[in-house]
Amino acid sequence: MAGAVQERPPLLPAGGEPPAGVGDVRRVPPARAGMRIGLMGGSFNPAHDTHRAVALLAMKRLKLDHVWWLVTPGNPLKDNSALPPLETRVAYARNLARHPRIIVTGCEALWGVRYTHDTVRQLKRRLPGVHFVWIMGADNLIQFSRWEKWRQIAGLMPIAVVDRAGASHAAICAPAARALGRYRLPEREAMRLPVMKAPVWVFLHGLKSAMSSTQIRAARAQ
């Protein structure tokens, strides 16, 4: 009908999977082609307010529709012997997030992957047309060159690095930052990042919180 408002297609689960049950932590969140979605990976042991602050800052500065917290079954670079169950960490993260556009999932366990490179490839294959951005803290950029296939990760999707207290100088001087220096986007153009072709990355300032999961675990131990 001429002049009628065209309805947007419904959100579809990745790979045509049935809608996720409330208690199923391994389902891939639904998404629509053209959406701008930030990805934050980690153990979330435990999730804390800085995770939330990073998500909200990136959401605002990059004009994202959603931010997904990808709760890993186990970080390959860490000792996972005392890691709480995936379901426990997902439930805690969901309770802390308290935002309709922050989605928490343990979908890496569904695919049996632990490396970011494999996760990124799975999501791009299952949800073509979605504009994904990998979000990491400056402290992670320092060790990014230790990640499995880190150069391929940078070539698969744009990256947003969020400043962390005390990590700025070391992050910008890190091997990965130097190697990817010519692909750095000026911060004033950050909103363009999600729709740009990788490799491209931006360094975002403005985060105030310095809290970390490591500090929280150490305080609990004491």
Residue-wise pLDDT tens digits, 74-106 = 877 676 677 999 999 999 999 999 999 999 999
Please state the domain count of the chain.
1
What sign does the CA torsion over 96, 116, 79, 73 have?
positive
In sequence order, which residues have a C-beta less than 8 Å from that of residue 168 and are 6 or more positions away? 138
Asked whether residue 23 is assigned to any structural domain, the reply reads no
The pLDDT value recorded for residue 120 is 97
**Eight-state DSSP code of residue 106:** -
- Alpha-carbon distance of 70 to 68, in angstroms, equals 6
Residue-wise pLDDT tens digits, 182-200 = 999 999 999 999 999 999 9
The residue-averaged pLDDT of 117-126 equals 96
Asked whether residue 108 is assigned to any structural domain, the reply reads yes
The pLDDT value recorded for residue 178 is 98
- 153, pLDDT greater than 80: yes
CB 71 within 8 A of CB 42: yes
In sequence order, which residues have a C-beta less than 8 Å from that of residue 180 and are 6 or more positions away? 154, 199, 201
Range of the domain at 92: 33-221
The pLDDT value recorded for residue 146 is 95
- 209, pLDDT greater than 70: no
In sequence order, which residues have a C-beta less than 8 Å from that of residue 113 and are 6 or more positions away? 119, 122
Q: Please tell me the pTM assigned to this model.
A: 0.84
Taking phi over 0 as left and psi of -120 to 50 as alpha, with beta for the rest, 149 belongs to left
Mean pLDDT of the chain: 86
Q: What CATH number does residue 86 fall under?
A: 3.40.50.620
Q: What's the half-sphere exposure (Cβ side, CA atoms, 13 Å) at 4?
A: 5
Asked whether residue 20 is assigned to any structural domain, the reply reads no
The pLDDT value recorded for residue 201 is 98
- Alpha-carbon distance of 169 to 110, in angstroms, equals 37
Asked whether residue 22 is assigned to any structural domain, the reply reads no
The residue-averaged pLDDT of 96-124 equals 94
The residue-averaged pLDDT of 141-148 equals 96
212 or 35: whose pLDDT is higher? 35
Asked whether residue 4 is assigned to any structural domain, the reply reads no
The residue-averaged pLDDT of 203-207 equals 94
Asked whether residue 117 is assigned to any structural domain, the reply reads yes
